[in-house]
Structure 1
Amino acid sequence: MLTYVEDAFNGVIISTALTDLDAPTFSLTLKDIIDEITGLKKQLAWLTLTHEQAQYIPIATALGFVFHNCLEHEITLILRLKADAYAPFVPTHSIGAGALVINEQQVLVVKDAAQESSGFKLPGGHVELNEDISEAAVRETFEETGIKTEFESIIGLGCRHQYRFGKSNIYFICKLKPTSHDIVISDPKEILAAEWVDIAVFLADENNSPFNKMIISSLSDTKGLLHSQFNLANSNKREVFLGQQ
């Protein structure tokens, strides 16, 4: 049977854990819950279905549920019992982390199979779910170039709209300190080339994008925002970056 718990938005979260109902029974049970919470003056109902429970999706949408957000293994639907009921917004942005890695007067750059320009760019990629920005920059740099690094600071950020799947993208530029020098490309289908290039040579190359040139020319000597040294044990913040005094 289906159960539910109240949430913080005068709504309920319907649990489908261990649910193995046939379609007609699921439909009747879900309708009973909707009738019950409507009588309780609730405004919202949340329903998360796993990939294995996909047969319940048309039943839920027939009862008024709409899609809210989706992961590879599950989809969350929402039913507004009051037309203007507030619900936490659908995720609107993806997060990227680029790495500025400088060894004396050389900068670490890559050329990947998916990029739009023909030149080189900074290593980097998407921040994964539950991954820190600093960790993502270090991980992506190692995966693309084989270079080991240590995170130093965030030195810039950018925003791009309508990036992929209708979402915007926020791009954090991280300054990393190299702790190795030898480049090893582990996935040549993704990374076509990776090099240490003299900064002056990179800036003079017309094939390199103005954005990457601007980052390297403007931010090479910037200290940026450092990891907070405050104790975050009692905070809901995982990562905090602060300017220097």
Structure 2
Amino acid sequence: MKRVDVAYVLLLNEKDQVLMVKNKGRKESYFTLPGGAVEKGETLKQAAIREVREETGLIVEVDQIFSLSEAFVEERGHHAVFFTFTGEITGGKIEISFPEEIEEIRWVEQEEAEKHLQLPYELKDMRKRNIPYQFRGTM
């Protein structure tokens, strides 16, 4: 299996709703946080910021890691590691840039988001900030 790193960003509005994107899947559509695969030469934070901009039209700053998880994606032959950052919107406006990939972008209640995010119980409080992230440069 090929290892793939994926960077997502958890964005909350003033009503504590979560921004989610509805992706067009091979079999059926599904909701995720905005984000995607880390490209060669990119840091996790750079990928997260780029992916949010590409998928939603929003400019964001990312903070700390909210959660870390992994899965074997058999249909693609991937071992995916998911890094989810907390973030803040600093500009842009919501728009679908890639209609061939994204069906919808919307704010959803946390209870609805939890159904799609498969969060462990300890992370149900989405305002909690957990793991510091640091890029240590080139070594």
Which position in structure 1 is the counterpart of 2:131?
Answer: 225
Q: 2:119 aligns with which of 214, 228, 236?
A: 214
Distance 1:213 1:180 in 2: 29
Q: How does 1:116-127 map to 2 (within 5 A)?
A: 118-127=29-38
Matched residue of 2:124: which SS? Answer: helix
Classify 1:112/1:145 alpha carbon distance in 2 versus 1 (closer, same or farther; 3 Å). Answer: same
Change over 3 Å in CA distance of 1:219–1:123 after alignment to 2: farther
- The CA deviation string for residues 15-41 of structure 1, in whole angstroms up to 9 with x for no partner, is xxxxxxxxxxxxxxxxxxxxxxxxxxx
Counterpart of 1:97 in structure 2 is 7
Unaligned runs of 5+ in 1: 1-90, 237-245
Q: Distance in 2 between matches of 1:221 and 1:115?
A: 33
- Counterpart residue identity of residue 34, structure 2: P
Answer 1 or 2: which has greater helix percent.
1
**Paired AA for residue 166 in structure 1:** G
Q: 3-state DSSP class of the match of 1:160?
A: strand
Counterpart amino acid of residue 122 in structure 1: L
Q: Deviations over 1:175-223 (max 9, x none)?
A: 11111373111111111100122334x258xxx53xx152796251221
> Which of 155, 177, 195 is matched with 2:106 structurally?
195
Equivalent positions of 1:25-36 (< 5 A) are none
1:134 aligns with 45
Q: Is the 8 A contact 2:11 2:88 kept in 1?
A: yes
Residue identity (%): 29
The answer for unaligned runs of 5 or more in structure 2 is: none
1:126: how far off? 0.4
Q: Quick one: which of 166, 191, 198 aligns to 2:77?
A: 166
Q: Could you say what secondary structure the match of 2:47 adopts?
A: helix
Taking the aligned partners of 1:161 and 1:213, their CA distance within structure 2 comes to 15
Shift of 1:171: 1.0
The residue type paired with residue 101 of structure 1 is: L
**Match for 1:102: what amino acid?**
L
Whole-angstrom CA distance in 1 between matches of 2:8 and 2:33: 6
| SS of alignment partner, residue 54 of structure 2 | helix
Q: State the structure with bigger RCO (CA 8 A, min sep 6), 1 or 2.
A: 2
Equivalent residue for 1:176? 87
Aligned positions, number: 137
Match of 1:56 in 2: none
How far the C-alpha of 1:159 sits from its partner, in A, is 1.3
Larger radius of gyration: 1
SS of the residue corresponding to residue 214 of structure 1 reads coil
Normalized per residue, the structure richer in strand is 2
**TM-score w.r.t. length of structure 2:** 0.80
With over 3 angstroms needed to count, the CA separation of the structure-2 counterparts of 1:164 and 1:135, relative to structure 1, is farther
